[in-house]
């Protein structure tokens, strides 16, 4: 059964739709990292709510969450097996899981922490700006990994800066990584922004510890969840706090289904 | 100074706009509970994102947060001193605080916990449905009150049910309160939904402990915050995680300022 | 009702009675910061238990707690609406609340933390001596604010030193505040001693973040609690751990009511 | 050295002085449980602050703490090696340790938890009244034993009731112990009041788990601390938060040394 | 690359070697649940240390840990990509990870919690005997999932009892699951023993929530870790606490490599 | 009774058997620190599992735990009253307690923390290598002392290095202790390895705070536990998680009792 039907994974980048080629980077990431039998769609919400190229501010997140839950609902209806929300804030993850039907939803922070915790006892997270730390710390703690944390290390780059000067970015990330490993005794490092893509192998070489790329982690965790669903039958709970809203109420209230759910869809086929 | 200019408080009910007379109940609440020198505006977001009469589901919240941050931004521009978000989920409180300028923002859960913790060592929270508990528990814990909690007590009424049969509601709330006080040793009780308005004095009589109404608590906490701003100069921090987004980026991305910010505004004048 | 009868607040400074003009500073503070309709009495316990000019040591506190609970009981009998204990150790707060009848009791540390937490996500506390930190840390944690704390910053001044050389004090507080904000990412600052009065506005100017003065915070929180009692009917719980001792036992044991309860009463009238 | 000079332990019962034969029970306890080479003095503070026969209320404790720190200071001056404060609230333990010089101070709750935690993974505490639980829970948690706690079990007896009808007390304690062991999976039981003396062996027989008597535990822990001081040289730290007040300030403030320090001294000699 | 070389996973059952057909059940489990391209070896330590058919007691575990670390070391030398320790105590997981070289090691409890936490907010764990709970609770907490736990539910069956009367076992597990879901609001259930194999789908049907089988979870997590190693290059950290012992010291001390490492090897081939 | 029969304590050094004169150091320690009426046997497991001279690695511990539980069982059968496991990892403490019958078992880390916590509010731990910290931190936290910890301080000496150059060791320990006390505000210091024996008094002189030697602490705690058993009747619980394995199963499985239990026994007689 697994061989015949590809696993379908959606990678939903909350701010990528208006970034022009923003999603190409994630398509390349998926191409390099997915299992052969997995099909990945990279999408963003349509720009109805604003032309965000990043969501570093909580108030930006509050505006794009509408697009995220609409996209998740649409993906579930299209029959996707798993979905990854492409922002290290794990924006709207709880909201998305409520409305995802039988589709598993994950996100970069929790996916990265799981991996780092399986490979080390203590890890640091390299972020762009100090601004982000409070929220990300809360997310790490809510997922139960606070005791594992050596700290957050910021390099004073914004989301849109990481891919502009690759050498400078690499140097800043390495410097932050050294601080984590040498001063704070981190045993692994997580890159705390999906736009830090492309640097994890270089950092591993320099630092000598595992370095987790969060967009890869999210994709792989979605794929793992999809495998568990297909092979073992494990689907999201719909009991108690996991209860989904009733369909007739959704229809009556509106808000979920009007207009296009996605922009900029790129498809990476199963091999 | 305080005497001459009324304190201006906004009470923003996330789902009230489409409820018809939904906001009248809060106007009456404000009339009865505000200081004489306070002016209160009760509003809801416009129904652009859906005609929600409640936001019991996380995915509903994810849709209305856009309206909340827009409303908060508009209120700050109008010169309000304080704003209360009228839902016991404290929906989008962190997001709202980021964008509130010099206006203090609060919400029912945190405001109620502060009061209950000052009057007792241990309190219980009576909610509508078990569905709500996971998120509310997280909020209570994030605010530092987990050790004070005797538990959550659900009465299997939805948000829209509390005001339909007042006798039945009162009986269910009293029964839940008895469980909290007599079995779990609660010393105070918080009503865990703004639509549980109108019952707290009756419950106090029956239970013999303080019973905190959350919409009153949120209003009074906004008023207290406004007083602290006016008299002592204490305004929201804008440092590190509290940094607001830059105005030029807001203008470029859009998403904040198009269209009406409020629906159904009711004004309760200063005396 | 509120207009006609002033709110009556007592500010009880545990070590002020023997300080000569020690309470004048708090009378000025009250004059500048109270609502017009509030009447404030500044008092200290009588010097029966020793002529303490500060209670930096736990063993000093253990001696003055007798005076605090006697004073609280007397204030409740006099019909005060709220009482603030004027020491950042929040000395005997739990004890005082037990015996306060229908009067709300608060203290500087908890009152300051509530305000700082509503205006920022993370705050630091500037104390006089490292000696104080263990106990104050315990108090902050017991009130649920440990996760908000960037740290304690001591300036090696004793309680009685803060008001001797104002320029030196200001410089030391600013230096400590810079450490909190710039090195430890505090977003707000609390002054951790009521004798640090008179510096918070200057520090706000220098640091660019909210700086909470604890004696003002305690006074305003007592006033807020008094308002909640008068307008909303919320009084201290007397259930379970909040149960007050029986009057006949108090009479039989003695210890509460003999002699004067207060020394050095200064009254700041309602406007 | 150890053989020639008896270890000197003081057992300071905060409310025993006015209880008439209150201290006889503890003298018998010491006689049965001390090492041969230990001398024990059982004392109470003089009744200057009230004729308390129990300190079940926090406000009672606040009044007797003066007597406790005075007594601790006097015991240190008399050359005692260890002192146990005889109340399961561990009343004023931190205050006492500050002023104890080279004398080790302990108290029943922490001493009992140490023993129970060394003999089991999980224990319950049987208290007199529900009133006590909040404070005792805080003490257990502050000492790091919260994760070990199966719960508190109250029998609705006051401190002064335990020794009036021994059969009734035994039955109530056994019933509470059964609840702890059979329903909540306690593996050991602590008696949560020093006046529950005389029942622990009977409870062990009935329950089949270790049952810790708190007055014995406090005495033995004081003796153990005294041994560690004599044999290994381990004395209380006087650094940072453990710093004692300066003697000249004590002399200037007064409050510590006037009048008798002890009432009702009973001496149990070394063998 | 992935297509051409099978992933090699070892399933190491600590007590299975002496159970006769004990490992057949796990071979069938692997056959049904592995990816096609995965090869699984099921092994147990040789019976040198005792003929354990279960390790319910900590002292039994202490004896078999020698066999576990020897087996892990041997598996790493054989070139396995991942290894699962087949006991819900996650016996010796930390020890095994230290000595595993580039091989990822996981175990049932942590693997099951990760899955349950991704599908629900709150889960219960059904165990055989109350005896097990203290250690398992510690493991769940150490992995950061304590806040997710509704509780442990024991059915009073030992490890060797689960597979003797399948109907009885199923009924007991369903009854325990109902308690978790209906009384304690669990939203998912974990089976807390690898010998509870064969029941999870039936329980899902009866309970209406996801039910995680721990041996499948451990196998799949090992496979996922192996995929992450092969595709993304993520291998165990060897820094700080993850440092492996030096080979020359291992040789000098002995203890690791003498004799056979495995007993009862069953191989499930890649498809 | 106490006078006539010596208390019998076993000090079980997990890696000492192959160290040649390794146990002499602990015999001298016992001679200097035991009560006169106590008899101490110093032993190690036989070298069947490897010739370990230290167990700095978790995988080494995993191999020697078999010897520890066998030794504990044998000691209990020989009628010892208390046993101390001589490694600051508190290796196999839980396992040992399960199988110890009526004998109390303790270990250096928990014993040292108890003492340090009774003499100070905050302490630091000086360890050999950073490698050790993760596990020791977990142990300290599991025992409830995490809030007391100023930190761990490593001197980059292995277990076998401490006794090679005493001056160098002393200097490194003093330097680390200064860091703990002066930079991190430790009020007491614990030496985090039993091979740091011989330095605690020198460090106390230099640092001016209590310095706890862990092998002495473990010995004294075992002696204290033995006294509590003899005088007060307090023996290990055998209920729930403390249940010991059934003797018939032990006999059937084997693994516990074959061969010698101890190597290198040194006996320090009662005076």
**Phi, psi dihedral angles at D145 (to 5 degrees):** -110, 15
The verdict on a CB contact (< 8 Å) between E181 and A216 is: no
**Phi, psi dihedral angles at C168 (to 5 degrees):** -65, -45
Are both B88 and B117 inside the same structural domain? no
Are both D61 and D143 inside the same structural domain? no
DSSP β-ladder status, A263-268 and A188-191:
unpaired
Strand order in the sheet with D188-191: D149-154, D123-127, D188-191, D211-212
- For residue A179 the two structure tokens come to 């601080």
pLDDT of residue D148 exceeding 90, the answer is yes
Sequence-distant (6+) residues with CB within 8 A of C236 are B119, B120, B210, C97, C100, C101, C102, C103, C104, C105, C242
Query: pLDDT tens, F193-249?
Result: 999 999 999 999 999 999 999 999 999 999 999 999 999 999 999 999 999 999 999
How much is the CA Rg of chain E, to the nearest whole Å? 18
Residue D2 confidence (pLDDT): 57
Query: Which of B59, B92, B254 shows the shortest C-beta gap to A99?
Result: B59
**DSSP designation for F7:** E
Q: Is residue E1 part of a domain?
A: no
Q: Which residue of E has its CA nearest to B146?
A: E147
Going through E13-142 in order, the beta strands assigned E by DSSP cover 38-44, 82-85, 104-106, 123-127
Sequence-distant (6+) residues with CB within 8 A of D164 are none
pLDDT of residue E261 exceeding 60, the answer is yes
Are both C129 and C196 inside the same structural domain? yes
**Residues present in chain C in total:** 271
**DSSP designation for C89:** T
Query: pLDDT tens, F234-266?
Result: 999 999 999 999 999 999 998 888 788 999 899
The verdict on a CB contact (< 8 Å) between C220 and B231 is: yes
Are both D102 and D114 inside the same structural domain? no
Sequence-distant (6+) residues with CB within 8 A of E248 are none
Task: For tokens 């709220």, name the residue.
Answer: C82
Q: What is d(CA F177, CA D167) in angstroms, rounded to the nearest whole number?
A: 55
CB atoms within 10 A of CB D208: 13
Query: pLDDT tens, D162-218?
Result: 999 999 999 999 999 999 999 999 999 999 999 999 999 999 999 999 999 999 999
- Of the pLDDT bands very low, low, confident and very high (cuts 50, 70, 90), residue C20 is low
Q: Is residue C259 part of a domain?
A: yes
Query: pLDDT tens, D76-93?
Result: 999 999 999 999 999 999
> Do residues C116 and C148 lie in contact, with contact meaning Cβ atoms separated by under 8 Å?
yes
Residues of chain B with pLDDT under 50: 1
Query: Which of B36, B146, B237 shows the shortest C-beta gap to C120?
Result: B237
Kindly list the distances between the CA atom of residue A143 and the CA atoms of A104, C222, D168, in Å, as whole numbers in the listed order: 17, 38, 49
| Chain D residues with CB-CB distance to C132 below 8 A | 241
Is this complex's ipTM strictly greater than 0.90?
Answer: yes
**Phi, psi dihedral angles at E220 (to 5 degrees):** -65, -35
Task: For tokens 């506005």, name the residue.
Answer: C201
What total number of domains does chain E contain? 2
pLDDT of residue C266 exceeding 80, the answer is yes
- For residue A70 the two structure tokens come to 């609409």
The sign of the torsion formed by the CA atoms of A92, A94, A96, A99 equals negative
Q: Is F77 on the interface with A (CB under 8 A)?
A: no
The verdict on a CB contact (< 8 Å) between F35 and D227 is: yes
Residue A250 confidence (pLDDT): 95
> Do residues E111 and E135 lie in contact, with contact meaning Cβ atoms separated by under 8 Å?
no
- Chains D–F, number of C-beta pairs less than 8 Å apart: 130
Q: Is F238 on the interface with A (CB under 8 A)?
A: no
How many CA atoms lie within 13 Å of B17's alpha carbon, on the beta-carbon side? 22
> Do residues F156 and F127 lie in contact, with contact meaning Cβ atoms separated by under 8 Å?
no
Kindly list the distances between the CA atom of residue B34 and the CA atoms of B72, B93, B100, C185, E209, in Å, as whole numbers in the listed order: 20, 22, 22, 36, 47
Which uninterrupted H or E stretch holds A135?
Answer: helix A133-142
Q: Is residue D115 part of a domain?
A: yes
Query: Which of F119, F224, F232 shows the shortest C-beta gap to D236?
Result: F119
User: By C-alpha distance, which of C210, C227, C211 is closest to C219?
Assistant: C227
Q: Do chains E and F touch (3 or more CB pairs under 8 A)?
A: yes
Q: Is residue D1 part of a domain?
A: no
Are both E227 and E103 inside the same structural domain? yes
Q: What CATH number is attached to the domain comprising A45?
A: 3.40.50.1860
- C4-31: average pLDDT: 85
> Do residues C179 and C157 lie in contact, with contact meaning Cβ atoms separated by under 8 Å?
no
Q: Do chains E and C touch (3 or more CB pairs under 8 A)?
A: no
**Single residue among D214, D231, D253 that ends a domain in this structure:** D214
Query: pLDDT tens, E184-195?
Result: 999 999 999 999
The range of the structural domain enclosing residue D102 comes to 7-107+216-268
Residue D49 confidence (pLDDT): 81
Q: Range with the lowest mean pLDDT among A260-269, B240-249, D19-28, E51-60?
A: D19-28
Which residues is B11 bridged to in the sheet? Answer: B42, B84
Q: Is D222 on the interface with F (CB under 8 A)?
A: no
Residue B28 confidence (pLDDT): 95
User: How many angstroms away from the CA of F185 is the closest CA of chain C?
Assistant: 8
Residue E21 confidence (pLDDT): 65
CB atoms within 10 A of CB F238: 17
- For residue F216 the two structure tokens come to 């002495």
pLDDT of residue D20 exceeding 80, the answer is no
Residue E20 confidence (pLDDT): 52
User: By C-alpha distance, which of A181, A127, A178 is closest to A156?
Assistant: A127
DSSP β-ladder status, C82-85 and C7-12:
parallel
> Do residues F266 and F79 lie in contact, with contact meaning Cβ atoms separated by under 8 Å?
no
- For residue D147 the two structure tokens come to 């994760």
User: By C-alpha distance, which of D68, D116, D74 is closest to D94?
Assistant: D68
Q: Which residue of A has its CA nearest to E106?
A: A118
Which of A147, A149, A182, A183 is the best residue to mutate to test the F interface, defined by the most F CB atoms within 10 Å of its own CB? A147
**Phi, psi dihedral angles at A83 (to 5 degrees):** -140, 135
pLDDT of residue D262 exceeding 80, the answer is yes
| Chain F residues with CB-CB distance to C134 below 8 A | 121-122
> Do residues E140 and E113 lie in contact, with contact meaning Cβ atoms separated by under 8 Å?
yes
Are both D228 and D244 inside the same structural domain? yes
- Chains B–C, number of C-beta pairs less than 8 Å apart: 129
Q: Is residue F96 part of a domain?
A: yes
With 0-12 / 13-18 / 19 or more C-beta atoms within 10 angstroms meaning exposed / middle / buried, residue E163 is middle
User: How many angstroms away from the CA of C196 is the closest CA of chain D?
Assistant: 20
DSSP β-ladder status, F7-12 and F38-44:
parallel
Q: Is F142 on the interface with A (CB under 8 A)?
A: no
Q: Is C4 on the interface with B (CB under 8 A)?
A: no
Q: What is d(CA F191, CA D249) in angstroms, rounded to the nearest whole number?
A: 36
Q: Is F144 on the interface with D (CB under 8 A)?
A: yes
Q: What is d(CA E176, CA E186) in angstroms, rounded to the nearest whole number?
A: 11
- A187-210: average pLDDT: 97
Query: pLDDT tens, D38-91?
Result: 999 999 999 888 889 999 999 999 999 999 999 999 999 999 999 999 999 999
Q: Is A134 on the interface with C (CB under 8 A)?
A: yes
Q: Is D101 on the interface with C (CB under 8 A)?
A: no
**Single residue among E170, E192, E214 that ends a domain in this structure:** E214
CB atoms within 10 A of CB B182: 11
- SS3 for A155? coil
Q: Which residue of A has its CA nearest to B96?
A: A59
User: How many angstroms away from the CA of F53 is the closest CA of chain C?
Assistant: 40
The verdict on a CB contact (< 8 Å) between F228 and D210 is: no
**DSSP designation for B90:** -
Are both D168 and D247 inside the same structural domain? no
User: How many angstroms away from the CA of E132 is the closest CA of chain D?
Assistant: 12
Which uninterrupted H or E stretch holds F167?
Answer: helix F166-178
Q: Is residue B86 part of a domain?
A: yes
Are both D220 and D210 inside the same structural domain? no
> Do residues A153 and A177 lie in contact, with contact meaning Cβ atoms separated by under 8 Å?
yes
Are both C32 and C49 inside the same structural domain? yes
User: How many angstroms away from the CA of E235 is the closest CA of chain F?
Assistant: 19
Q: Is C251 on the interface with B (CB under 8 A)?
A: no
CB atoms within 10 A of CB D269: 10
User: How many angstroms away from the CA of B139 is the closest CA of chain E?
Assistant: 13
- F166-187: average pLDDT: 98
Residue B49 confidence (pLDDT): 81
Q: Which residues of E176-193 are buried (b: 16+ CB within 10 A; e: fewer)?
A: bbbbbbeeebbbbbbbbb
- For residue F56 the two structure tokens come to 């700095």
- For residue E45 the two structure tokens come to 């330590």
Q: Is D142 on the interface with B (CB under 8 A)?
A: no
Query: Which of A208, A225, A235 shows the shortest C-beta gap to E239?
Result: A208
Q: Is residue A2 part of a domain?
A: no
Which of D121, D150, D187, D188 is the best residue to mutate to test the E interface, defined by the most E CB atoms within 10 Å of its own CB? D121
Calculate helix-pair angle for D214-227, F214-227, nearest 10 degrees. Answer: 140
- For residue B20 the two structure tokens come to 């018809």
Are both D122 and D196 inside the same structural domain? yes
The sign of the torsion formed by the CA atoms of C253, C254, C255, C261 equals positive
Q: Which residue of C has its CA nearest to F150?
A: C134
Q: Do chains A and B touch (3 or more CB pairs under 8 A)?
A: yes
Which of C57, C134, C136, C141 is the best residue to mutate to test the F interface, defined by the most F CB atoms within 10 Å of its own CB? C134
Predicted TM-score (pTM) of the model is 0.97
Q: Range with the lowest mean pLDDT among B73-82, C23-32, D15-24?
A: D15-24
User: How many angstroms away from the CA of B227 is the closest CA of chain E?
Assistant: 38
Angle at D33 between CA D29 and CA D38, to 5 degrees: 105
Are both B74 and B120 inside the same structural domain? no
Q: What is d(CA D225, CA F220) in angstroms, rounded to the nearest whole number?
A: 10
**DSSP designation for A13:** -
**Single residue among B179, B195, B213 that ends a domain in this structure:** B213
Q: What CATH number is attached to the domain comprising D21?
A: 3.40.50.12500
- Of the pLDDT bands very low, low, confident and very high (cuts 50, 70, 90), residue D271 is confident
- For residue A268 the two structure tokens come to 């990476």
Residue F271 confidence (pLDDT): 84
pLDDT of residue A258 exceeding 90, the answer is no
The verdict on a CB contact (< 8 Å) between D243 and C131 is: yes
> Do residues D267 and D39 lie in contact, with contact meaning Cβ atoms separated by under 8 Å?
yes
Are both E158 and E189 inside the same structural domain? yes
Which residues is F41 bridged to in the sheet? Answer: F10, F267
Q: Is residue B20 part of a domain?
A: yes
Residue F224 confidence (pLDDT): 98
Which of B132, B134, B154, B156 is the best residue to mutate to test the E interface, defined by the most E CB atoms within 10 Å of its own CB? B134
Angle at A168 between CA A164 and CA A172, to 5 degrees: 120
Kindly list the distances between the CA atom of residue E68 and the CA atoms of E86, E94, F264, in Å, as whole numbers in the listed order: 10, 11, 28
Q: What is d(CA C2, CA A163) in angstroms, rounded to the nearest whole number?
A: 61
To 10 degrees, the CA torsion angle through E101, E107, E112, E117?
-40
User: By C-alpha distance, which of A92, A234, B153 is closest to E188?
Assistant: A234
Task: For tokens 């091979």, name the residue.
Answer: F195
User: How many angstroms away from the CA of A147 is the closest CA of chain B?
Assistant: 17
Q: Outline where D11-127 has alpha helix (H).
A: 22-33, 58-78, 93-98, 108-119
**Residues present in chain A in total:** 271
């Amino acid at each position: 059964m697994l061989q015949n039907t590809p696993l379908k994974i959606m990678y939903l980048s909350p701010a990528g739709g208006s970034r022009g080629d923003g999603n190409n980077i994630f398509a390349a990431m998926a191409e390099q990292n997915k299992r052969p039998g997995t099909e990945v769609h990279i999408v963003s919400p349509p720009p109805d709510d604003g032309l965000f190229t990043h969501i570093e501010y909580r108030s930006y997140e509050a505006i794009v969450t509408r697009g995220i839950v609409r996209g998740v609902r649409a993906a579930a209806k299209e029959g996707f097996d798993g979905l990854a929300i492409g922002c290290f804030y794990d924006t709207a993850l709880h909201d998305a899981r409520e409305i995802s039907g039988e589709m598993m939803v994950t996100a970069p922070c929790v996916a990265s922490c799981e991996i780092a915790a399986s490979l080390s006892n203590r890890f640091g997270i390299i972020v762009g700006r100090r601004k982000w730390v409070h929220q990300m710390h809360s997310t790490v703690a809510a997922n139960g990994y606070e005791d594992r944390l050596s700290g957050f290390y910021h390099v004073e780059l914004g989301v849109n800066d990481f891919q502009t000067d690759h050498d400078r970015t690499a140097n800043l990330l390495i410097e932050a990584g050294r601080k984590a490993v040498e001063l704070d005794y981190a045993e692994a490092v997580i890159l705390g922004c999906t736009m830090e893509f492309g640097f994890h192998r270089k950092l591993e070489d320099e630092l000598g510890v595992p370095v987790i790329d969060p967009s890869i982690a999210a994709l792989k965790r979605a794929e793992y969840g999809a495998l568990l669903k297909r092979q073992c039958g494990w689907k999201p709970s719909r009991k108690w706090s996991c209860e989904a809203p009733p369909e007739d109420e959704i229809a009556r209230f509106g808000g979920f289904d009007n207009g296009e759910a996605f922009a900029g869809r790129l498809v990476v086929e199963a091999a």
